[in-house]
Amino acid sequence: MISLTNAILFLLLAPVIGGLVSGIDRKLTARMQGRVGPPILQPFYDVGKLLEKENLVVTSSQNYYILSYIVFIVVSGALFFAGGDLLLVIFAFTLAHIFLVLGAYASYSPYSFVGAERELIQIIAYEPMIILSAVGMYMVTKSFFVNEIAASELPLILYLPGVFIGFLMVFTIKLRKSPFDLSTSHHAHQELVKGVTTEFTGPNLARIEIAHWYENVFLLGFVYLFFAFNPVIAIVAIIIAYLLEILIDNTFSRVKWQFTLKSSWIVAGMMGLVNLGVLYYLAGVLV
């Protein structure tokens, strides 16, 4: 019953929380750049305007792909907050982004095509680290279920510091922030401008934005798991992590896809795998 309630709360509250986080993000970014910035509720105004526009598509299949994208994003988040299997959550989460890529390919636009290619590269870049994070949590808690990981009194951050650092890196990729905003960007400084979402307009573009809100809340929930032994510390850690991402976004310029792929794999290998190797060794010694 609690699991179902959590899933329903996610479905209802995640767009609100995600939209507010997006608005705060834009406001803080503007302040860092010496601007006043839009009101915090501006993301909701933007989505509202998009929903009122005509839904123009190059091919009708784009409607199906974007619908599938937002459905699987919502499903992955609902499963996560319901305390489900973390591996199943990651599978649904990855599948959602495959549908977004297919929607970009379906438009036959060169800009959308390049954006889709870069989105695939980013999936390849961040996926190993997310899987390593799940494996690390299993090694500490002996469970892949989110509710059991969250209920554990063990401080995962002390057991998985390298994994957490690696996750923060892919967190930047998933938030589509510099220096890893390769396939699309929420800002106008990227040469492809909207990249993978170039050929989406009106309601479909609104659905993509709402899916991003759901996705961001899910990712913040993932950060929470590392500090779940103390909810207060976990919330503070989430706030600090997101503020750090905003600072990074406004400090570093965008890098090439080659650097993104190499650096994410190097960090996953050096921080993630080494952390898990040390954890496995210590577990064997203690036994």
| Residue 192 to residue 213: CA distance in whole angstroms | 22
pLDDT at res. 271: 85
Q: How confident is the model at residue 130 (pLDDT cuts 50, 70, 90)?
A: very high
Classify residue 34 as left (phi > 0), alpha (psi -120 to 50) or beta: left
| pLDDT tens-digit readout, 196-238 | 888 888 899 999 999 999 999 999 999 999 999 999 999 999 9
Do 190 and 184 contact (CB within 8 A), yes or no?
yes
Query: How far is it, in rounded angstroms, from Cα 274 to Cα 251?
Result: 29
| Predicted confidence (pLDDT) at residue 10 exceeds the cutoff of 80 | yes
pLDDT at residue 21 is higher than 70: yes
Q: Which residues contact 139 (CB under 8 A, 6 or more apart)?
A: 276, 279, 280, 283
- Tell me, what's the pLDDT at 126? 92
- Collapse the DSSP code of 85 into the 3-class scheme (helix H, G, I; strand E, B; otherwise coil) and give the result: strand
**b/e code 239-248 from CB counts within 10 Å (16+ = b):** eebbeebbeb
Token pair listed for 90 = 């990651």
Q: Are 192 and 184 in contact (CB under 8 A)?
A: yes
> Over the stretch 167-183, which tens digit does the pLDDT of each residue have?
998 999 988 888 888 87
Confidence of residue 193 (pLDDT cuts 50, 70, 90): low
The domains of the chain are located at 2-286
The predicted pLDDT at position 186 comes to 65
Question: How many angstroms separate the CA atoms of 182 and 191, rounded?
Answer: 9
- Is the pTM higher than 0.75? yes
- Residue 144: its pLDDT value, please? 95
User: Which two tokens mark 276?
Assistant: 């898990």
